[in-house]
Structure 1
Amino acid sequence: MKSRRVQVAVVQSAPILFDKQSALDKIASMTKEAAGQGANLIVFPEVFLPGYPRGLSFGARVGSRTVEGRKDWQRYWESAIEVPGTETGMLGELAKEFGVYLVIGMVERDQEFSTGTLFNSMIYLGPDGSLLGKHRKLVPTGSERLLWGQGDGSTLTVINTPFGRIGGLICWENYMPLARTAMYAQGIDIYIAPTADARDTWQSTIRHIACEGRCYVISCNQFATKASYPADLAYYADIQEDDDILSRGGSAIVGPLGDYVVPPLYNEEGILMATLDLSEITQSRFDFDAVGHYSRPDIFQLIVNDKKQEIVQKKFK
Structure 2
Amino acid sequence: MIPLRSPNPSRDFHMLPRFKAAAVHAAPVFLDSQATTEKAISIMREAARAGAELIAFPETYIPAFPVWAALWPPIDNHDLFVRMAEQSVLVDGPEVARVCAEARALGVTVSIGISERSAVSVGGLWNANLLIGETGEILVHHRKLVPTFYEKLVWSSGDGAGLVVAQTRQGRIGGLICGENTNPLARFALMAQGEQVHISSWPPMWPTRRPVGGGNFDNVAANRIRASAHCFEAKVFGIVTAGYMDEPMRAFLIERDRAIADVIDRTPRAASFFVDPTGVVFGDELQDQEGIAYAEIDLNRCVEPKQFHDVVGYYNRFDIFGVTVDRSRLTPARFRDEQQPGAEAQAILSVDADAGSNGQRIG
- TM-score, with normalisation over the residues of structure 2? 0.80
For residue 252 of structure 2, give the secondary structure of its aligned residue in structure 1: coil
- Aligned counterpart, 1:295: 316
- Measure the CA separation in 2 of the matches of 1:157 and 1:234: 41
Larger Rg: 2
Give 1:226 deviation, angstroms: 4.3
Structure 1 residues 218 and 237: alpha-carbon distance in aligned structure 2, compared to 1, 3 A threshold: same
Which of 330, 345, 357 is residue 309 of structure 1 equivalent to? 330
Give 1:55 deviation, angstroms: 4.0
- Measure the CA separation in 1 of the matches of 2:258 and 2:124: 26
Give 1:311 deviation, angstroms: 3.1
- Aligned counterpart, 1:38: 51
For residue 16 of structure 1, give the secondary structure of its aligned residue in structure 2: coil
For residue 252 of structure 1, give the secondary structure of its aligned residue in structure 2: strand
Please tell me the residue identity of whatever aligns with 1:20.
S
Query: Are residues 1:139 and 2:146 paired?
Result: yes
Please tell me the residue identity of whatever aligns with 2:297.
L
Structure 1 residues 151 and 214: alpha-carbon distance in aligned structure 2, compared to 1, 3 A threshold: same
Give 1:119 deviation, angstroms: 0.6
- Measure the CA separation in 2 of the matches of 1:21 and 1:102: 18
- Aligned counterpart, 2:17: 4
Query: Are residues 1:72 and 2:80 paired?
Result: yes
For residue 114 of structure 1, give the secondary structure of its aligned residue in structure 2: coil
Query: Are residues 1:170 and 2:177 paired?
Result: yes
- Aligned counterpart, 1:50: 63
For residue 275 of structure 1, give the secondary structure of its aligned residue in structure 2: strand
- Aligned counterpart, 2:137: 130
- Measure the CA separation in 2 of the matches of 1:3 and 1:125: 21
- Measure the CA separation in 1 of the matches of 2:331 and 2:34: 32
Please tell me the residue identity of whatever aligns with 1:292.
G
For residue 296 of structure 2, give the secondary structure of its aligned residue in structure 1: strand
- Check conservation: 1:248, 1:266, Cα contact below 8 A: yes
Spell out the pairing of 1:1-317 with structure 2 (5 A cutoff): 1=10, 2-56=15-69, 60-61=73-74, 65-66=75-76, 69-111=77-119, 113-196=120-203, 198-229=219-250, 231=252, 235-237=256-258, 239-244=260-265, 248-262=269-283, 264-317=285-338
Over aligned residues, Cα RMSD in angstroms? 2.1
Give 1:243 deviation, angstroms: 4.3
Give 1:248 deviation, angstroms: 2.4
CA deviations over 1:145-197 (Å, ceiling 9, x no partner): 01000111111121111231101110111111111111111111100100125
- TM-score, with normalisation over the residues of structure 1? 0.91
For residue 245 of structure 2, give the secondary structure of its aligned residue in structure 1: strand
Give 1:235 deviation, angstroms: 4.5
- Measure the CA separation in 2 of the matches of 1:179 and 1:215: 15
- Check conservation: 1:251, 1:264, Cα contact below 8 A: yes
Please tell me the residue identity of whatever aligns with 2:35.
S
- Measure the CA separation in 2 of the matches of 1:274 and 1:169: 20
For residue 194 of structure 1, give the secondary structure of its aligned residue in structure 2: strand
Give 1:57 deviation, angstroms: 5.1
- Measure the CA separation in 1 of the matches of 2:165 and 2:261: 41
Give 1:93 deviation, angstroms: 1.1
- Measure the CA separation in 2 of the matches of 1:240 and 1:88: 34
Indicate the larger mover: 201-210 or 235-244.
Answer: 235-244
- Measure the CA separation in 2 of the matches of 1:203 and 1:232: 28
Q: Is there any run of 5+ residues in structure 2 with no aligned partner, and where?
A: 1-9, 207-218, 339-363
Give 1:60 deviation, angstroms: 3.1
Q: Report the count of equivalent residues.
A: 311
- Measure the CA separation in 2 of the matches of 1:49 and 1:42: 15
Give 1:231 deviation, angstroms: 3.2
- Check conservation: 1:17, 1:53, Cα contact below 8 A: no
Q: What's the % identity of the aligned pairs?
A: 32
- Measure the CA separation in 1 of the matches of 2:268 and 2:243: 6
Give 1:7 deviation, angstroms: 1.2
More helix by share: 2
For residue 240 of structure 1, give the secondary structure of its aligned residue in structure 2: helix
- Check conservation: 2:53, 2:170, Cα contact below 8 A: no
More strand by share: 1
- Check conservation: 2:254, 2:260, Cα contact below 8 A: no
- Measure the CA separation in 1 of the matches of 2:26 and 2:268: 10
Q: Is there any run of 5+ residues in structure 1 with no aligned partner, and where?
A: none
- Measure the CA separation in 2 of the matches of 1:82 and 1:233: 30
Indicate the larger mover: 260-269 or 173-182.
Answer: 260-269
For residue 169 of structure 1, give the secondary structure of its aligned residue in structure 2: strand
Structure 1 residues 263 and 129: alpha-carbon distance in aligned structure 2, compared to 1, 3 A threshold: closer
